[in-house]
Chain A
Amino acid sequence: MKLKNFPRPFIPLIALICRLTLATIFFYAGIEKIVNPVDFTVAIYNYQLLPDLAINLSAIFLPWLEVFIALSLVSGIYTRGAALLSAMLFLTFATALTINLVRGLDISCGCFGASSGTISWFYFARDLSLFCMSVFVLIYDRGWQYFFS
């Protein structure tokens, strides 16, 4: 295996860094929630956005979706799909945060399982930054083959 196109041009390199950062965040977030699904059901319930019927299913499904997005981003398999899902997830999280910040609810973010802090505009800004990184990956990522031959 031989390195090529490294470190220039910069845009694919930045996309690669964004991709690996997102993968790390999703993997950590997903595993934390898989380990303790009950805590995550409470976190989802506290947002008061979903009906009871959808809470357990979301608590089971979302962490695995995060893990699979992370695996896709790291492996370079279905990267565009993973980046699109990642962008959609961060947009959804940001919307849910905004609604509850406006409502004035003082609830746990639930972003990384039980060890998350209380929701704040900082989390909103963080979600928007990660959303931008996801869109950047979606548009500019060139895969591992761009750097290795």
Chain B
Amino acid sequence: MTQNNLSIKLYTAFREGIIILTVALLAAVVFNLARPAGINLFGFSSADLIKEQQSKIPSITLSKAYDLHRKNKVIFIDARDPLSFEEGHIAGAINIYPDDVSLHATSLKIKADQGFIFVTYCDGPQCPLSKETAHSLIQRGIPTVKFLVNGWSLWLNAGYPISKGKK
């Protein structure tokens, strides 16, 4: 095949490609406008989707979480900032901020394969960090994740074991 032949084929391909792209775009927009289940062309909201996905993450009660802790079947994940973690956290917990989940994903997957359940927590009933960390964990293929609402305050007030410092 000569260079010239290939150039002609590529030129034809580009020209035809643009025609197909245009026709497909028109068909897509028209069909979407006409169908009852059509969606807004620019109306996607990742914030709404994350909220919806996070609402599906199961929660766990304090007593159930403590029970698992006693049986050594749970790994607590403290989603608060490192300073709060150092001041005090659930004994044995790991400090993972939502954005840092990818750094721990491999080691956590190994623990998940060993049968551990992960419970994320932060502080305050409205605190979003525990859900965000739980969501990131699920996204990275760790299935057994629950979150403990207002976890730190509940655990502390119940007098359950805590630790201080970086570990």
Contact = CB atoms under 8 A, between A and B. Distances in A.
Contacts of B139: 46, 105-107
Interface string A51-73: 01101110111011101110010
Interface residues of B, number: 39
Contacts of A85: 17, 20-21
Secondary structure at the A interface, as helix, strand, loop or mixed, is helix
A60 B9 CA distance: 30
Nearest to B43: A56
Interface residues of A, number: 38
Nearest to B6: A139
Interface stretch (B25-33, B60-68, B87-95, B157-165): B25-33
B17 A84 contact: yes
B136 to A, nearest CB: 10
A139 to B, nearest CB: 7
Interface of A: 34, 37-38, 41-42, 45-46, 52-53, 55-57, 59-61, 63-65, 67-69, 72, 78-85, 103-107, 118, 138-139
